[in-house]
Amino acid sequence: MKNHGQLETKLNLSFKNKKNLENVFVHRSYLNEHKNFYLPSNEKLEFLGDSVLSLVTSLYLYKKYPSLEEGDYTEIKAAIVRTESLAESAKLLDLGEYLYLSKGQDRESGRRNKNILADCFEALIGAIFIDQNFETAYEFVLKYLFSDKLDKIINNKLYLSPKSRLQEYTQGKFKITPNYSVIEEIGPEHDRIFKVEVSIKEKKYGVGVGKSKKEAEEKAAKKTLEKMT
């Protein structure tokens, strides 16, 4: 396990209370095997970090993108704070190397588990907020989560659903909207599978399959976008 001082150096931060930083890495599985460990799991720090992250994201969007609508803010927040993004940032900082895990979790690649890493990253935000201040947590999120990722999501409208993006694209290019047709329904009423096809100007493009028409349409739109853009 790495020394926490290495992480402080990397982050250019010196924690006033070193236990705040150590607590970031205590996974609940570790406590099952070390019941008398002097720190709790990182779950409460993660809960706090999740709230701080939400405020940081909202404030950043409000200040930098004032022309966007409230609904856009909601979609953008969902796109940037999803598990995959948080885990990716955690990997860049090698947070998995500092984790306190049970032997089982360690054997099962817990140090690379996306959910564990995402939770750890949020716990680190919470620890920075508690130990330092909101401004430091804000700068940490901007540097290690947003960097150029958030601007790319916004500029390319990646926060929109595939259906919304395809509609914008076809309206801009062809002045028409896509047409979605259910071409097949399989299975009983309670477990129906839908197959949907997208056509634009009567030309057939992507086909999507899902447990609802909406899911199938989104998948079909995504495939269409991949072909057209």
Tens digits of residue pLDDT in 12-27: 999 999 999 999 999 9
Between residues 191 and 51, which one has the greater pLDDT?
Answer: 51
> 26 phi and psi, to 5 degrees?
-90, 100
Q: How distant is the alpha carbon of residue 145 from its chain centre?
A: 10
Q: Which residues are annotated as a binding site for Mg(2+)?
A: 46, 119, 122
| CA–CA dist 122, 82 (Å, integer) | 11
**Predicted structure pTM score:** 0.75
Q: What distance, in Å, lies between the first and last C-alpha atoms of the chain?
A: 45
162-228: CATH architecture: 2-Layer Sandwich (3.30)
Q: Could you tell me which of 153, 14, 161 has the C-alpha nearest to residue 76?
A: 153
pLDDT in tens, 170-181: 888 888 999 999
pLDDT in tens, 23-67: 999 999 999 999 999 999 999 999 999 999 999 999 999 999 999
Q: Is the pLDDT of residue 1 over 70?
A: no
Which residues have CB under 8 Å from 37's CB, separation 6+?
26, 30, 31, 100
Q: Which residues are annotated as a binding site?
A: 46, 119, 122
Catalytic residue numbers, as ranges:
50, 122
Residue range 4-155 in CATH 3.40.50.2300: no
Domain ranges across the chain? 4-155, 162-228
Residue 87, classified by CB atoms within 10 Å of its CB into exposed (0-12), middle (13-18) or buried (19+), is: buried
Q: Is the pLDDT of residue 134 over 70?
A: yes
